[in-house]
Structure 1
Amino acid sequence: MKRALVLAASGVVLALLNAVLLAPSSSQVYASDVFGALRLPGDPAFIAGHRGDRSVAPENTIPAFTAAFENDAMQFVETDVQLSRDGVPMLFHDTTLERVAGTRKRVGELSARQLKRLDVGAFYSERFAGTRMPSLAEFLDLAADYDKRLLIELKSDWTLAEIDRVLAVVDASAVGSRVMLQSFSIETLQNLQEAAPQIPRLMLIRELPADPVPMARQLGVLALGTTARAVTAAPESLQRLHEAGFGVLCYTLNSERSWAEVRALGVDGIITDTPSELDGWLAQNAPGT
């Protein structure tokens, strides 16, 4: 009887150990591993170029990404990924193609070949007429020539099978260690946690709850990305995140007023359409940059 109890207890211990060891976890990667030391109020934030460098070239295109990669001010380059009808990860932000390419269709309604025929540069200026939509693979190939980190948003809800399409491209690239995935979708973040616990993840959220730490821990993210309005309305939430080791980024800030507001609170990163302007502002207003 005693031996049976010992064996049973041993079985429980082994089961618990297996549950801990096999459960998806982001504990191998911390915000400080990716962002450096978390910022204190008044510290300069790192700069992330929104959809490349939109201030000099059409968003989410090779010219915009090249400008961002060659801009020493930026540590991160941000983009958006959606699947074509035939399952190819393509870089595009909007729900429909109308604003950029003049058609009301969605990315998922066209094949990658059809998407490649669209002009996604003429809307910006005639100089960029004929610019084509890049695939995720093309973006990662370009990134291999530079040292920037890559912040990739998965638009809307993604299934595990759809996420695998992105992971296959990331795994085949030479820059997988510099990729960070982000989403507004809880479903997508949960599926990312299951499918790729080793890849750093960021949760996008428009408002901060009073205590966002339990949510961040449950989803296995290392940072939250939110608005300037959210952090100025709830600075105690930002403090709680920092105390627990989570980073905080703000999107998409393009004015000196918003930069000053979030720097005063100690936000770790700023996603912006005007990276060079932000870099110049930080040089003037944040000693040591």
Structure 2
Amino acid sequence: SARGVSPLLLRARPSAAVACLKIFKFSRHQSTCKWQSREKEQRRKRKKRGALSVQMALPATTPRAAARCPIAACAPTPPVTAGGRPRELPFALLAERGMMVGGHRGMGMNAVGAPPGARVGAARERENTLLSFGRAAEHAAVAFVEFDVQVTKDGCPVIFHDDFILTQKTEVLYEMRVTDLLLEEFLSYGVQKEPHKVSKPLLRRMEDGRVLTWSTEEDDYLCTLQEVFEHVSPHLGFNIELKFDDNIIYPSVNLNRALQAVLQVVFQYAGNRPLFFSTFQPDAARITRELQSVYPVLFLTEGGTAKHDDTRRNSLDNAIHVCQEYDLHGVVSEVRGVLKNPSAILKAQESNLAILTYGQLNNVREAVYVQYLMGVNGVIVDLVEEISNAVADFSKPDLGQSTFSNSVDIGRKHESFSQQQLGFLLRLIPELIQQPH
């Protein structure tokens, strides 16, 4: 591709490759995007084509669930200014600091069976808990935490990644779908908030099919979306991933019911917190965008590193097309998809879209730096402290120490990596992006 970086160039001329990557570093001032102008244009488009108008219906709730997760008896209304107009919360609120760093499920994911000393998957804190989110909030360089939201059978949004909860009783393994549980049942797993309650053990299935006890150095109880809003610092941004099972074809009514439950909690408790939604489910992204115009909606994609029956999910280019078609605000791609297709960043810029990435390569400082040069807006990482500190260094004023000062003008920034280190990474990238996740 004329706009891409040739693998041959990556192997043979690392310094020239860095210069080429600089082409894709678009202006941070421009990349924050003119969201208010974009919003006006999107409203015009939706009005022209007769955008879907959805009446917010209440999910069924039990009195006990309502006490833990109150849901308003009317449609949520966006926050308003003193003048009575909807208050815009543009994505730029998060993007102001340049490249954003987001904590993956808080301070990082848990991988059961991870060997001692493993860099990824061995977070001390239980993922997707108030403890993990609170620890991430202590790092000033962390812009947001990413977490997974599902809706229980009685209509309460809860924080949990896996589609199924696994437990064991009298040596018998039980596996329950999260969305088939009542709120009280969901909260009964793992460590309990009230000491007198007996907890049910949590297990987790590994990629090879084995089921192991899900233990962490520092445990915390499972929580609801409402509790996260109430107990996590309001200065920490939220990336709310709307979680749906890849193996289920959802009728629109089911998507609407779950999304309405989430939005009702968001509008009631978000306040001034910067947040955005993301999802792998393209129809859920579309409906979320149609249900509200206050918070940005981004489309999650594996960027071509996995194949799905729904072709909208099968490439970074397709993801950008989904954003254009559904008036979304950006893409969150598996990092290898971006490294394979760097010209997509320019395409996203031309469409006024943000580009964020996730994946294990985001725990390699040099790989994150290459994305910084390419103009990626944000990275979701497991090694939160290490990578957030590294990204903070990227934008420090040049103290005369830059190893690139004689070869590449990088905007008078201080870089903490030698040309030899980056050259090695650039030669390695073609091999890295071909490896299975």
* TM-score for the superposition, normalised by structure 1: 0.80
Q: CA distance change for structure 1 residues 240 and 22 in 2, over 3 Å: closer, same or farther?
A: same
Matched, 1:82 2:150: yes
Q: CA distance change for structure 1 residues 51 and 211 in 2, over 3 Å: closer, same or farther?
A: closer
Q: Which of the residues 214, 217, 224 maps onto 1:135?
A: 224
Return 112-121 or 240-249, whichever deviates more: 112-121
Match of 2:216? 125
Superposed CA offset, 1:114-145 (max 9, x none): 111110688333542xx3210000011123x3
Measured after TM superposition, the shift of residue 58 of structure 1 is 0.8
Match of 1:154? 242
Measured after TM superposition, the shift of residue 168 of structure 1 is 0.9
List aligned pairs for 1:172-187, cutoff 5 A. 172-175=268-271, 178-187=274-283
Q: CA distance change for structure 1 residues 18 and 256 in 2, over 3 Å: closer, same or farther?
A: closer
Match of 2:137? 69
Measured after TM superposition, the shift of residue 228 of structure 1 is 1.5
Measured after TM superposition, the shift of residue 98 of structure 1 is 2.8
Is the CA contact 1:91–1:136 (under 8 Å) kept in the aligned structure 2? yes
Return 266-275 or 194-203, whichever deviates more: 194-203
Residue segments in structure 2 that go unaligned for 5+ positions in a row: 1-43, 53-87, 109-122, 192-201, 203-212, 245-249, 304-314, 398-413, 415-437
Matched, 1:231 2:320: no
Is the CA contact 1:184–1:205 (under 8 Å) kept in the aligned structure 2? yes
List aligned pairs for 1:213-252, cutoff 5 A. 213-252=320-359
Higher helix share: 1
Match of 1:53? 107
Q: CA distance change for structure 1 residues 276 and 132 in 2, over 3 Å: closer, same or farther?
A: same
- Three-state SS of the structure 1 residue aligned to 2:176 is coil
Match of 2:286? 190
Is the CA contact 1:211–1:240 (under 8 Å) kept in the aligned structure 2? no
Match of 1:107? 178
Q: Which amino acid aligns with 2:329?
A: L
Match of 2:73? none
| Distance across 2 between alignment mates of 1:235 and 1:36 | 23
Count of residues in correspondence between the two structures: 263
List aligned pairs for 1:12-51, cutoff 5 A. 19-20=47-48, 23=51, 31-36=91-96, 45-51=99-105
Q: Which of the residues 174, 182, 187 maps onto 1:116?
A: 187
Measured after TM superposition, the shift of residue 282 of structure 1 is 2.6
Q: Which of the residues 260, 265, 268 maps onto 1:164?
A: 260
Match of 1:6? none
Is the CA contact 1:232–1:261 (under 8 Å) kept in the aligned structure 2? no
Match of 1:42? none
Q: Which amino acid aligns with 1:171?
A: F
Q: Identity, % of aligned pairs?
A: 23
Q: CA distance change for structure 1 residues 209 and 151 in 2, over 3 Å: closer, same or farther?
A: closer
| Distance across 1 between alignment mates of 2:371 and 2:216 | 32
Measured after TM superposition, the shift of residue 191 of structure 1 is 1.1
Superposed CA offset, 1:78-100 (max 9, x none): 11001112111110001212399
Q: CA distance change for structure 1 residues 211 and 138 in 2, over 3 Å: closer, same or farther?
A: closer
| Distance across 2 between alignment mates of 1:204 and 1:99 | 30
- Three-state SS of the structure 2 residue aligned to 1:141 is helix
| Distance across 2 between alignment mates of 1:235 and 1:254 | 19
Largest Rg, 1 or 2: 2
| Distance across 2 between alignment mates of 1:200 and 1:254 | 26
Match of 2:371? 262
- Three-state SS of the structure 2 residue aligned to 1:73 is coil
Is the CA contact 1:48–1:270 (under 8 Å) kept in the aligned structure 2? yes
| Distance across 2 between alignment mates of 1:94 and 1:78 | 14
* TM-score for the superposition, normalised by structure 2: 0.54
Question: Considering only aligned residues, what root-mean-square deviation do their CA atoms show, in Å?
Answer: 3.1
- Three-state SS of the structure 2 residue aligned to 1:159 is helix
| Distance across 2 between alignment mates of 1:103 and 1:175 | 39
Superposed CA offset, 1:17-73 (max 9, x none): 99349747xxx6754454138x6xxxxx21001111133411001110111122212
